[in-house]
Chain A
Amino acid sequence: MNRKLQLMTGNEAIGEAAVCAGCKLYAGYPITPQNELTAYMSKRMTEEGRAFIQSESELAAISMVFGASVTGERSMTSSSSPGISLKQEGISYLAGCRLPSVIINIMRGGPGLGNIAPSQADYFQATRGGGHGDYRVIVLGPASVQEAFDLTVDSFNLADKYRMPAMVLADGLLGQMMEPVSVTRYPLPKAKKSWALTGAKNRKPNVIKSLFLRPGALEEYNIELQKTYDEIKKKEVRFEALYCDDAEIIIVAYGTTSRIARAAVKNLRKKKKRVGLLRPITLWPFPEEAIAKYAKKTKGFLVAEQSMGQMVEDVKLAVAGSAKVRLYGRPGGGIPTDEEIEKEVLRLKI
């Protein structure tokens, strides 16, 4: 392994991670706040002799990713919220065709054109599938630039392992801030993808499709897909629990908000308040079992997110009424402060 420490923005770290993970094609269309990523890829992919395409739209970008993936190569696209809405068409086809690929969403405020400020309002479209049909996407939510690098590499591996799209969900703040990153080149997987379209030489033709017209066939296929999703739920849940074991109140927050919540938790602990932080790292699969377990011991949860309340629904499902759940949401590009979160914790009367 060759290691070096570099100062990078989240956007650049994600780009470098893709290069390190052996991404062979990147396609993207400009949109703030992820432009540095596309710019970085135009340089790095070209230097590496790999494919970089500035596409005509996000619809085209995700289809280019589909094309590279169908031939068995690692591929990635990135965008921000309005662009991700367009990519949902292709993400549904990738899921339907069981094609691995990586999608980066550096979220901004919405709905509509919204603004270009950091936001977490795409939690629903990320974790619910987002496009048409019964499917899931693995969703990873980094909280630092280093983690953005690491989770991007992981998302390539998970996508390949389960043959499905994986998404890194971060916000504009994480995309644009700088932190030191240890850039690590991992050995690349050698396993051949036997399903890939490479030309039918010395074998029967391979077909990749999502159309199943025979009565009952699509139902069977959906059930097969679900088996994969169930396996992922069992094996791939990741979260961080800070001071949760004795906590009377647990803050649930991911990404940028979790960094602010961490400061709030530390301040509250100094004031002898028994408060913890549960930070989902995988947003799908969601750490529902962990939350359900803590719900039996703790009195209440404060869900802090940069939206009017999206992840809070998953927390409520996991808690299933056995503790109080309160939302502190800042939509439209608003970023909570640690003081605000502290105040909200104390308002959770238990």
Chain B
Amino acid sequence: MKKIFQRPESLQNVVTHYCAGCGHGIIHRLVAEVIDELKVREKVIGIAPVGCAVLAYDYWNFDVTEAAHGRCPAVATGMKRVHPENIIFTYQGDGDLAAIGTAEIVHAANRSENITVIFVNNGVYGMTGGQMAPTTLIGQKTSTSALGRDVVRDGYPLKISEMLSVLDGVKYIERRAVYSPTEVIKAKKAIRKAFENQINGVGFSMVEILAMCPTYTKRSLKASIDWIKEYASKYFPLGVIKG
């Protein structure tokens, strides 16, 4: 009998701490599948962020370290500069990448570090209990925008991928989602391209993924999916942004 589906070698056979309906589990798996398919598991070093995905090193089956909140791109820079033969990727949330780590992502992108960035935009700070993120939509309620995001007080949701795309150093940015099988397949293709670029020495490549966070957006999974389809992907349109 031919085996046509199995757990990727790059994923450990363990139960994760992620909440029901959370997008991180799917995205971890997509990263693992791509790493297996590109046969780079023995060369990969992942950098887990401060955020819900901090425990990613307990789930992936390859070398992983952590970085201080927002500093993954700087850590990745240090690794790649001394070991260009390794495949280095960061995995970052929207608070990590688009708030506290804005300087690090902008400058790693601008230097066109030959790394891969997986950017998980779930619209909130998950790990700390659902505070407003730079990507929280206008009017969206979170624990620190109790009456909804108010642009006068809180500013606008940050389109960091579009911002980065104007930099000459940025070679590829695509925004995808994981709310349906079709979208999952598209997200995987984008992740694959972002890793292939690194293997081919192309330069800075990033995939932003709109992800569900039912627990901290206080919605059912169905409502979380609808929210991404109807609202989040209007403000943050899916597709290739650069490259």
Q: Which residues in A have some Cβ–Cβ distance to B below 8 Å? A: 24-25, 27, 50-51, 53, 55-57, 59-61, 63-71, 73, 75, 89-90, 93, 97, 197-202, 205-211
- Across the interface, do B43 and A70 meet the contact criterion of CB distance under 8 Å? no
What 1/0 flags go to B81-116 for Cβ under 8 Å of A? 111001100000000000000011011000100000
- Across the interface, do A89 and B68 meet the contact criterion of CB distance under 8 Å? yes
- Across the interface, do B76 and A67 meet the contact criterion of CB distance under 8 Å? yes
Complex Cα gap A206–B44 (Å): 11
- Across the interface, do B66 and A209 meet the contact criterion of CB distance under 8 Å? yes
- Across the interface, do A200 and B82 meet the contact criterion of CB distance under 8 Å? no
What 1/0 flags go to B67-84 for Cβ under 8 Å of A? 110010011111111110
Complex Cα gap A248–B57 (Å): 59
- Across the interface, do B62 and A205 meet the contact criterion of CB distance under 8 Å? yes
Smallest Cβ distance from A299 to chain B, in angstroms? 49
- Across the interface, do B65 and A68 meet the contact criterion of CB distance under 8 Å? no
What 8 pairs across the A-B complex have the smallest Cβ distances? A67-B78, A63-B74, A64-B78, A51-B81, A201-B42, A56-B107, A63-B71, A67-B75
- Across the interface, do B42 and A93 meet the contact criterion of CB distance under 8 Å? no
State whether A60 and B71 are in contact (beta carbons under 8 Å apart), knowing that A24-B82, A55-B107, A73-B82 are contacts in the complex.
yes
Q: Is B178 among interface residues, defined by CB-CB distance under 8 A?
A: no
- Across the interface, do B45 and A60 meet the contact criterion of CB distance under 8 Å? no
Contact of B78 among A59, A66, A198 (CB under 8 A): A66
Contact of B64 among A60, A90, A205, A210 (CB under 8 A): A205
Cβ-closest chain A residue relative to B17:
A213
Q: Is B125 among interface residues, defined by CB-CB distance under 8 A?
A: no
- Across the interface, do B66 and A60 meet the contact criterion of CB distance under 8 Å? no
Q: How many residues of B contact A (CB 8 A)?
A: 36
- Across the interface, do A56 and B104 meet the contact criterion of CB distance under 8 Å? yes
State whether A25 and B42 are in contact (beta carbons under 8 Å apart), knowing that A97-B66, A197-B63 are contacts in the complex.
no
State whether A70 and B75 are in contact (beta carbons under 8 Å apart), knowing that A51-B81, A57-B103 are contacts in the complex.
yes
Complex Cα gap A73–B65 (Å): 15
With A51-B82, A56-B103 given, can you name 18 additional A-B contacts, CB distance below 8 Å? A27-B78, A57-B103, A61-B74, A66-B67, A66-B74, A67-B76, A67-B79, A67-B80, A71-B83, A89-B68, A197-B64, A199-B45, A200-B42, A200-B61, A207-B64, A207-B65, A211-B54, A211-B66
Q: Which residues of B contact A89 (CB under 8 A)?
A: 68, 71
Q: Which residues in B have some Cβ–Cβ distance to A below 8 Å? A: 41-45, 48, 54-55, 57, 60-68, 71, 74-83, 86-87, 103-104, 106-107, 111
Complex Cα gap A87–B24 (Å): 30
State whether A59 and B71 are in contact (beta carbons under 8 Å apart), knowing that A199-B86, A206-B63 are contacts in the complex.
yes
- Across the interface, do A199 and B43 meet the contact criterion of CB distance under 8 Å? yes
Complex Cα gap A261–B66 (Å): 45
Q: Which residues of B contact A207 (CB under 8 A)?
A: 57, 63-65
State whether A60 and B103 are in contact (beta carbons under 8 Å apart), knowing that A70-B75, A198-B83, A200-B41 are contacts in the complex.
yes
Cβ-closest chain B residue relative to A52:
B81
Q: Which residues of A contact B41 (CB under 8 A)?
A: 200
State whether A205 and B63 are in contact (beta carbons under 8 Å apart), knowing that A63-B71, A198-B86 are contacts in the complex.
yes
- Across the interface, do B44 and A67 meet the contact criterion of CB distance under 8 Å? no
Complex Cα gap A349–B5 (Å): 86
Q: Which residues of B contact A200 (CB under 8 A)?
A: 41-42, 44, 61-63
Q: Which residues of B contact A51 (CB under 8 A)?
A: 78, 81-82
Cβ-closest chain A residue relative to B81:
A51
State whether A70 and B68 are in contact (beta carbons under 8 Å apart), knowing that A198-B83, A198-B86, A207-B57 are contacts in the complex.
no
Cβ-closest chain A residue relative to B44:
A199
Q: Which residues of B contact A211 (CB under 8 A)?
A: 54-55, 66
Q: Which residues of A contact B81 (CB under 8 A)?
A: 25, 51, 53, 64, 67-68
Contact of A66 among B42, B60, B75 (CB under 8 A): B75
Cβ-closest chain B residue relative to A59:
B71
Most buried by A among B55, B71, B74, B75: B74
Cβ-closest chain A residue relative to B87:
A199
Q: Which residues of B contact A199 (CB under 8 A)?
A: 42-45, 62-63, 86-87
Q: Which residues of A contact B87 (CB under 8 A)?
A: 199
Q: Which residues of B contact A65 (CB under 8 A)?
A: 78
Cβ-closest chain B residue relative to A94:
B68
Q: Which residues of B contact A68 (CB under 8 A)?
A: 78-79, 81-82
Smallest Cβ distance from A332 to chain B, in angstroms? 30
Q: Which residues of A contact B68 (CB under 8 A)?
A: 59, 63, 89-90, 93
- Across the interface, do B86 and A71 meet the contact criterion of CB distance under 8 Å? yes
Complex Cα gap A69–B60 (Å): 21
Complex Cα gap A199–B66 (Å): 15
- Across the interface, do A64 and B77 meet the contact criterion of CB distance under 8 Å? yes
Smallest Cβ distance from B82 to chain A, in angstroms? 5
Complex Cα gap A59–B75 (Å): 10
State whether A67 and B63 are in contact (beta carbons under 8 Å apart), knowing that A56-B103, A73-B82, A209-B57 are contacts in the complex.
no
Smallest Cβ distance from B112 to chain A, in angstroms? 13
Complex Cα gap A51–B82 (Å): 7
Cβ-closest chain B residue relative to A207:
B57
Smallest Cβ distance from A151 to chain B, in angstroms? 24
Q: Which residues of A contact B67 (CB under 8 A)?
A: 63, 66, 93
- Across the interface, do B79 and A70 meet the contact criterion of CB distance under 8 Å? yes
Q: Which residues of B contact A201 (CB under 8 A)?
A: 42-43
- Across the interface, do B42 and A64 meet the contact criterion of CB distance under 8 Å? no
Complex Cα gap A68–B55 (Å): 21
Complex Cα gap A331–B68 (Å): 33
